[in-house]
Chains A and B, each alone.
Chain A
Amino acid sequence: EIVLTQSPGTLSLSPGERATLSCRASQSINNNYLAWYQQKPGQPPRLLIHGASSRATGIPDRFSGSGSGTDFTLTVSRLEPEDFAMYYCQHYGYSPLYTFGQGTKVEIK
């Protein structure tokens, strides 16, 4: 069973700063099956990144994904006010078929 561990649990930053979020898999995974989502209160998650590094349709280029094997990173180059939210990584695998991390909250410092 693959477990995704996200860190830190909470990231306190100011608008304009760079955010670096980590997602670590308990075993090596296929990059093609790693995604990142943003979720704001009262809303469903929104797909940001798929295939570890490909931006979803309509996602600004300040969002970027990288990584391979067991270590993956979501970077927001310059935080905008609307970027303060929860972020989840997710993997498509075998058992369970779909796994989400526990999330990182990006809050205003």
Chain B
Amino acid sequence: EVQLLESGGGLVQPGGSLRLSCAASGFTFSSYVMCWVRQAPGKGPECVSSITGDSIYTYYADSVKGRFTISRDNSKNTLFLEMNNLRVDDTAIYYCARRGSNYAFDYWGQGTLVSVSS
């Protein structure tokens, strides 16, 4: 059974930093593109960053470019998102999602809440 379990969210002040983790199990982690998808309260989802299985290619949405860094450790089946210089509008639930071969997100974690507030 595919499982994705996020951790690392919390309350942080504007300008602060957080590191999110996503522990994956039930599939060959290194074979899949993984994405961090966030959803602000009452808004639609937004994929803010993705990474290929071999870590060669990464993608960042314009809204986070230069502030967030995605990485993965295939030996530990874990995905990471380093978030720096956080802003109030980064407040959201952050989901870890697997991108299937059909280019859609076929498995999602339950999410971790990031709140940025003074």
When chains A and B are docked, how far (Å) is the Cα of A102 from the Cα of B44?
Answer: 5
Q: A56-B106, A90-B45 are in contact. List 5 more A-B contacts (CB 8 A).
A: A43-B110, A44-B95, A97-B50, A98-B59, A100-B44
B62 near A98 with CB under 8 A, answer no
Q: In the complex, what residues of A have CB within 8 A of residue B66's CB?
A: none
Shortest distance between the CB of B35 and any CB in chain A (Å)? 7
A47 near B47 with CB under 8 A, answer no
Task: Give the interface size class of chain B.
Answer: 20 to 34
Q: In the complex, what residues of B have CB within 8 A of residue A43's CB?
A: 110
Shortest distance between the CB of B36 and any CB in chain A (Å)? 11
Shortest distance between the CB of A26 and any CB in chain B (Å)? 15
1/0 per residue B75-118: CB within 8 Å of A?
00000000000000000000101001011111011110000000
A92 within 8 A of B: yes
Q: In the complex, what residues of B have CB within 8 A of residue A54's CB?
A: 102
Closest to B46 in A: A100
* 23 sampled A-B residue pairs with Cβ under 8 A: A32-B102, A32-B103, A35-B103, A35-B105, A47-B100, A47-B104, A47-B105, A47-B106, A50-B100, A50-B102, A50-B106, A51-B104, A54-B102, A56-B104, A90-B45, A92-B104, A97-B47, A97-B50, A98-B50, A98-B59, A100-B44, A100-B46, A102-B43
1/0 per residue A32-47: CB within 8 Å of B?
1101010000011111
Closest to A96 in B: B61
Closest 9 pairs between A and B when the two form their complex, measured CB to CB: A44-B108, A35-B104, A98-B47, A50-B104, A92-B103, A50-B102, A100-B44, A97-B59, A100-B45
